[in-house]
Amino acid sequence: MANFNKIMLMGNLTRDPELSYLPSNTPVVEFGLAVNRRFRKQDGEQGEETLFVDCRSFGRTAELLNQYLRKGRPVFIEGRLQLDRWQDKDGNQRSKHRVFVEGFQFIDSRGGGGGEGGGSGGDYNNAGSNYNNRGGGGGGGSNYDNRGPAPSAPPMGDPGAGDEDIPF
């Protein structure tokens, strides 16, 4: 059975990013994200709930997040769910889920966060370590992707890509 661990969240930072370094001198950043959900209750009134998520990232992604984000700033993150386990000072086993951030997009806090045109946009792909300022589109954000190059699809007509390989 195939497995898939992918999470995408858009929300506001609940605190300033905290940058630290591993003994190997690798940058690590941790921050909190608040994600709001609005819905209509059974009685017709508007309801709202907020989910608080702890996030962590390493390397160049960590440095960029620390450099440009502050408490209250909106951001779109992509990553995977990770389970941290530890033993507390009383000897009890503890665990918590957190998001390991692999890529992110700055969201224009001045109201441009979607639609066509408006503002400048760009992608930063850590695999090639280059910045492409594509302009327009996406409402004025910048993308940073730390996952490396995407796997290439088999060429058309490849005998190894039959219907039995399609997962649905």
**Domain residue ranges in the chain:** 7-86+100-149
Per-residue pLDDT tens for 17-40?
999 999 999 999 999 999 999 999
Show Cβ contacts of residue 20 under 8 Å, excluding neighbours closer than 6 positions. Answer: 27, 28, 29, 30
Could you tell me the end-to-end alpha-carbon distance of the chain, in angstroms, rounded to an integer?
12
Q: By the 8 A CB rule, do 166 and 144 touch?
A: no
Whether the full predicted model's pTM is greater than 0.75, yes or no, is no
State the sign of the Cα–Cα–Cα–Cα dihedral 153, 155, 156, 159: negative
Report pLDDT for 144: 56
The string of pLDDT tens digits covering residues 105-122 is: 988 756 544 433 333 333
Residue 151 is predicted with a pLDDT of: 40
* Cα(92)–Cα(52) distance, integer angstroms: 24
Q: Which fold has domain 7-86+100-149?
A: OB fold (Dihydrolipoamide Acetyltransferase, E2P) (2.40.50)
Q: Could you tell me the two tokens for 96?
A: 């918590």
Q: How many CA atoms lie within 13 A of 64 on its CB side?
A: 23
